[in-house]
A and B are shown apart, each in its own frame.
Chain A
């Protein structure tokens, strides 16, 4: 009886028809609309039919009509919010794509109005910002009016929502979307201070983004999987990173360093920074600010502060980028999505490949070093600074690295150098340092583990070992191995031993051998001895080249059992070498040296002969562990010879529990050992004259021990030496000052 009833009747008929004959349904609605042109439901029904059939053009036209004619209908707004949600989302599903296409059919003016009104109706800061951003992206002229406000709203939201990381949804939107629109809009006047604030906000975000750690939830997942996930590389490779509040896709920031450089370029141009307009690369940038620094002392006032901020901002960004590149090569597991464990962690340590060289040479070298250190120690008391004049300070030190194991060694070392240079530049003037410290404080760089790793390595490079040690202690505390991360290969725990190894290296460099060995032996106990054969080949090439260099070089050591154990052995050898060859008699040290010289045989042949000389001079030698740990056939032969009259009848006390062997001579055992010996000799396919002399009436127990020892020649030397490190740990440490 009423118009409303008419309309309801017409819409109802259309609804009944739509599934079987959509054309008929539409014909009804067209008729209905000519009868009741201002009825909303009729037009909405028309729109729904077109929308459900995903016909963009006609649905867009009807939406436009509704938007114009029924601006107050809540249903229209619900529809518009669905569409704007689709615009904001990155969903690729068909319906979302349709809704986006539908929006595109609307005239620009209507789009603009729709987005603005939709924004007004939004209460969630993030959604509101995303909506406004849609507007700004489509209608550049609106940037002038809304751009800075939107930026500030986002930055405020970070504070009001108590977001603790700079990598958050608000900052992401600000840095990646709003900021480029604002700074590239030349109709806007932006004060330099604001732009400096913005570039720092952007830099903090990008640095935080690049250096983000592997996400926590995935780790929980992998620990739940437990034993099945053998390879950490696999689980890390599939990690996903999502910024809270954003979708996975919009959490991805492509080429962050390049984007940062883009922003820096624009802001630099707008702040009228010195130098050419197009920033080509970070390296160029460093060169330019270096030059700029030279003029700094002559400048005053506003110009000076402008120069200062340019230098600090540019140098700081180069520093963080290069340090990141370095650490991502040295400790890739710290970061999400970096190289996924293709090469494990690397440790910057003292190079010890010279350790087999003549004692006299390194004694001279070390004397010099110790003298210097003594001087430094003296000053320490007064100046509260440790080895200021430390090794290598002031001149560049060589860093050795196995190039086949680290294919990107050149870039890594370059990054390390660039980072150090930037650091030095930032600390070359008080003004710069103060500015830089402000940035560090604001960004809380103190808490960045990765940056601490770089700083520690830099300090080590500079030779400030004492400082490095304190830094390492802090780090070791942070890096306590967690039970969940233990993996069967020992890889994870090795990573955590990284700090210990570096500490040992520092102690060694400081001449604190006992501490050095203590730290090292802690590490060794956690290692699995590698196969002997594998190590040989890889170690060789780097040694040849480094033979002539000595004492002052550093080495990037892969953090694997295969590399760490040899390093430990070298370091122990270096510790004992000097003690063993002093004028006073120290059989224990000499014995340790002999044991350690077996590694990498015959590299240490010269030193071994020197040891033999010393034993001959002494006329006797006591080392009860000899038969436990010496399996080198050449050495055994030499010691066997020493007892003979031709060898000088040297008094050798090499047997542990000597008395026991004498008291209970067991013929049966002797026979057994004999056959073993024969077999051993046969399998070695190498005829040694081990038994010469012994058979001529020497003591039976020594002969037997020798024979038994020969049979052990085929044993994995690393296992033997590893056992040596573990079993004799206390003796070794105690025998060092």
Chain B
């Protein structure tokens, strides 16, 4: 394909780009038809793309070709219709990769710029094929770039043009896959560490309503991806669950700080305010977890695939612990307000950990959890979760004869079958946990006195 360069050179920027796209389309079609494996665009073609579409100078001597804003808009339109008209997914996907897969060279900047504009435009005019390709791109690309793309969309639709939110809202129905990746990207982007990294309320509302309408949206890429689990390193998580949990847990602390700034304009217009939105979001996340056991069982992955990585949980707990420390320092006299916020964060952490563990999203023992949560301040629910349910539960309505504090932690009931979800497979770490529980070294010593992990009823 390299030989068309001579014919492209004399043309003006727009027609050259157009011509190249046309040839690229034919070239990829032929490639797919011939069944060449792997179907990869050769480096010469990639060079042509960088030269005539991304306008990266080939060498220092070459003249810098630039497009006017109008020409660029025309090019985007041409690309839009090019993807729209191509009916074969493979061809479309290969073409998108050829154009926008990062090559680790100087062209990547203009590649990102063009991609951002194209995706933003596709959102605006509802070009589903492009959004689908972009979803795949978001799954394969390093998270730093994914976050940049998300940032552009949030800027375009939530910050720059007020009232354009509804346009972005539509991506939920246009391309659920893209929407899911977008959520993952923005939860990665906004880590609530500073005001700038706090999601705009409009975006938050949008995400809450998406997930409330369709909780499976969160899992859609996980459901559609092959079992190989060959996620490129440093790419985004396959689900936004980790990011969403982080949001919900950190929000009570982050938004308290936010509230101080915002003052009165919090929820004046009847819209749900951030605390309630996060509460709803947190519930939705738990509900999504509850969907998991069936899905994992169907895929035969229950207990084998952790949707929530232990490392990210660990980093979350250490983040939280630091945040709580800071909060305490900032407000020397811990007011009920700050105390409430801290407890809410801890409640949510406990809930997320328990439900994630029970649903097979988090594969670890309670002992592991106790380890990573050791630095956190006291919270009744967290203690309950960390110690696990009392094991003679099955007989709750007819307590055993030896119903006494002494009996409560005798090893026998602790070995009773864990009455969690009926779809349990025997090899989950969860089922092994009672054993580890009984091995907990201090346990024999505390029978007969108030169990420290229990809430003070």
Contact = CB atoms under 8 A, between A and B. Distances in A.
A49 to B, nearest CB: 11
Contacts of B392: 3
B396 A39 contact: yes
Query: What 8 A-B pairs are tightest by C-beta distance, nearest first?
Result: A34-B358, A3-B390, A23-B283, A23-B279, A31-B351, A3-B393, A35-B389, A23-B280
Given A27-B283, A34-B354, A39 B393 contact: yes
A37 B359 CA distance: 12
Nearest to A39: B396
Interface stretch (B98-106, B143-151, B321-329, B448-456): B448-456
A38 B290 contact: no
A9 interface: yes
A708 interface: no
A38 B279 contact: no
12 contacts: A1-B405, A1-B454, A3-B396, A5-B457, A9-B384, A31-B355, A34-B354, A34-B421, A35-B389, A38-B393, A38-B396, A39-B393
A334 interface: no
A30 B290 CA distance: 9
B286 A30 contact: yes
Contacts of A27: 279, 282-283, 286, 348, 351
Nearest to B407: A2
B138 interface: no
B382 to A, nearest CB: 11
A333 B381 CA distance: 74
Interface in B14-53: none
Contacts of B450: 1
Contacts of A36: 389, 393, 396, 419
B396 A28 contact: no
B283 A6 contact: no
Interface-centre pick from B280, B348, B392, B403 (highest chain A CB count, 10 A): B280
A26 interface: yes
Interface in A4-58: 4-10, 13, 21, 23-24, 26-28, 30-31, 34-39
- Chain A contact patch, size range: 20 to 34
Interface in B279-309: 279-280, 282-283, 286-287, 290
Nearest to A41: B396
Contacts of A4: 396, 399
B159 interface: no
Contacts of B276: 21, 23
A1 B387 CA distance: 12
Contacts of B280: 23
Nearest to A73: B397
A443 to B, nearest CB: 58
Given A1-B451, A30-B290, A38 B419 contact: yes
Given A1-B450, A26-B283, 18 more contacts: A1-B451, A1-B457, A2-B399, A6-B384, A6-B389, A7-B396, A23-B280, A24-B279, A27-B351, A30-B283, A30-B286, A30-B290, A35-B358, A35-B384, A35-B388, A37-B419, A37-B420, A38-B394
Nearest to B284: A23
B350 interface: yes
A37 B355 contact: no
Contacts of B282: 23-24, 27
Contacts of A9: 380, 384, 455, 457
Interface of A: 1-10, 13, 21, 23-24, 26-28, 30-31, 34-39
Contacts of B350: 31
A9 B379 CA distance: 13
A2 B408 contact: yes
Given A8-B457, A27-B283, A30-B286, A1 B408 contact: yes
B135 interface: no
Contacts of A23: 276, 279-280, 282-283
Contact of A24 (B283, B359, B393, B394): B283
B419 A31 contact: no
A171 B286 CA distance: 53
Contacts of A13: 381
A90 to B, nearest CB: 35
B416 to A, nearest CB: 11
Contacts of A1: 405, 408, 450-451, 454, 457
Nearest to B455: A9
Contacts of A35: 354, 358, 384-385, 388-389
Contacts of B358: 34-35
A34 B355 contact: yes
Nearest to A34: B358
A6 B390 contact: yes
A2 B283 contact: no
B322 to A, nearest CB: 24
A7 B355 CA distance: 16
Contacts of A5: 454, 457
Nearest to A8: B457
A289 B189 CA distance: 88
Contacts of B279: 21, 23-24, 27
Contacts of A21: 276, 279
A7 B421 CA distance: 17
Contacts of B454: 1, 5-6
A676 B43 CA distance: 137
A28 B421 CA distance: 17
Interface in B403-426: 403, 405, 408, 419-421
A28 B351 contact: yes
A81 to B, nearest CB: 22
A31 B355 CA distance: 6
Contacts of B419: 36-38
Residue of A26, A31, A37 with most partner-chain B CB within 10 A: A31
B371 to A, nearest CB: 20
A13 B420 CA distance: 22
B452 to A, nearest CB: 12
A1 B290 CA distance: 28
Residue of A4, A8, A30, A34 contacting most chain B CB atoms (<10 Å): A34
Contacts of A24: 279, 282-283, 347
